[in-house]
Amino acid sequence: MSILPLFQNIFAPPRDLILIILAAWIGLTLSERGAPGHPVNLDALNNLLLASLGGFLIGGRLLYALENFPTFSQSPGSIFSLNTALFDQWGGLAIAVLAGLAYGRRAHLPLWDSLDVLTPLFAALAIGIALSHLASGAAFGKETNVPWAVEQWGALRHPTQLYETIAALVTLAVILIQKPAAGPGFEFLLFVALSSASRLVLEGFRGDSTLILGGLRAAQIAAWFILLGALIGLDQRGSPGQAKGARVRARSGK
Amino acid sequence: MQPILRRSLSGIILLAGLAWIFASADQSNSATAGRIPAPQKGFLAPDFRLATPDGRSIALTDYLGKGVLINLWATWCPPCRAEMPVIEKLYQAYQDQGLIVLAVNSTVQDDPTAISPFIRQYGITFPVLLDINGEASTLYELRSLPTSFFIGRDGVIREVVVGGPMSEALLRTNIEEILK
């Protein structure tokens, strides 16, 4: 058996979640290792992550239950079900962000520095998500005849999950090797810029895109606007004033 | 990097991104759209023909126009056993609205003599199909038991649930979706 089918058998859903949990663990380790260069209280940051995780899990389930209220009202006990499908992922993510922001404000955590510390975690999570796509066959490619096409879902397709994994690995590598010479938020915005740029490119090879306005891919348009915002943010942090401020901060050890 | 150079580079990246958005637009709507049979959400449900324990022959295409829940299961599988009563309950509730449940027993990895007692024990009234050679299990790329496929009236898979037991809310949500 070749490596890919073996990998897909081992991590077939729902076991693909193991890959995301593993990535989160590695990402947390990397984040903690890089934290000393930033003026962030690690304990408070860990509590922020716990608050976000709780918000994600509870918020995602509650929002799903609210969206399907007539169904849940007939079997209220289902709200405690272990079925991961009973979950609003985007809603959960929104609640997680709100919970994180609320906790960070309360604990007086500096926003951009905290995001910089957490960037390796986000980058590692992106790898875990890409690998879970590879294991489950989700986020599949469009049909193609390129020599490296893979047989999937009844056709030869672009191996978009592999593209996604490689892009996420490169993003993490860039994040880890870049020198923090610019202002707070630079690492996070660099991650956002690289991730949105790769999504913008790779979405064009996907076979499951949500299409709008006569065939345009919705995710590409969203990625373009996110890339625009990230580039503006990077430009501001790359300006001499910001960089000087960052250097002064680094020297003073704050 | 000089600000002017940096901004020029950002502009070029954004323009190239815009060009790529239009160049990679999917005007032929090639994204799945239910054209190819494959065991994945958004694809046409692969057809199969299997026998029931009482010797009838049933094909998936016999139920085109109805909402179909394919549940792949085995008698030895605890979550399969746990979700059967709920599936039966909801089959009773929704069959008048056009719900069909096809309980495909993965006979290739089950004890054939245990199936009929199982059906009686759980009072199953929907068709149970015997996948003796593993044809349907292979076709649906079965990797975990139970696995359920919710298929719309147009024959397109609307949801795939791997593992179980499925809660009543999960079943209801997906059943109501495929009966639309």
Cα gap A91→A98, rounded to integer Å: 11
Q: What is the helix (H) or strand (E) element at residue B68, kind and residue range?
A: strand B67-73
**Lowest mean per-residue pLDDT among A172-181, B73-82, B102-111, B132-141:** A172-181
Task: Output the average pLDDT for chain A.
Answer: 89
pLDDT band at A85 (very low <50, low <70, confident <90, very high): confident
Task: Output the average pLDDT for chain B.
Answer: 92
CB atoms B26 and A72 under 8 Å = no
Which is more confident, B18 or B32?
A: B18
CB atoms B10 and A235 under 8 Å = yes
* pLDDT of B16 above 90: yes
CB atoms B30 and A137 under 8 Å = no
Which residue out of B4, B6, B8, B10 would a mutagenesis test of the A interface target, given it has the greatest number of A Cβ atoms within 10 Å? B10
**pLDDT tens per residue, range A56-81:** 999 999 999 999 898 888 888 888 88
Backbone Cα Rg of chain B: 22
B10, B29, B159 member nearest A211 (Cβ): B29
**pLDDT tens per residue, range A147-204:** 999 988 888 999 999 999 999 999 999 999 987 667 899 999 999 999 999 999 999 9
CB atoms B32 and A207 under 8 Å = yes
Cα gap A207→A149, rounded to integer Å: 13
**pLDDT tens per residue, range B34-88:** 578 899 888 999 999 999 999 999 999 999 999 999 999 999 999 999 999 999 9
**Lowest mean per-residue pLDDT among A222-231, A235-244, B143-152:** A235-244
Q: pTM for this one?
A: 0.85
Chain B: give the shortest CA distance to residue A130, in Å. Answer: 18
* A224 neighbourhood in chain B, CB within 8 Å: 14, 17-18, 21
Question: Given this model, what pLDDT does residue A248 score?
Answer: 47
* pLDDT of B8 above 70: yes
Q: What is the mean pLDDT of residues B127-147?
A: 93
CB atoms B13 and A197 under 8 Å = yes
**Token pair in block for residue A243:** 């960089």
End-to-end Cα separation, chain A, in angstroms:
54
Question: Given this model, what pLDDT does residue B134 score?
Answer: 93
Q: CB neighbours of A67 closer than 8 A, spacing ≥ 6? A: A88, A91
Choose among A201, A254, A249, A253: nearest CA to A227: A201
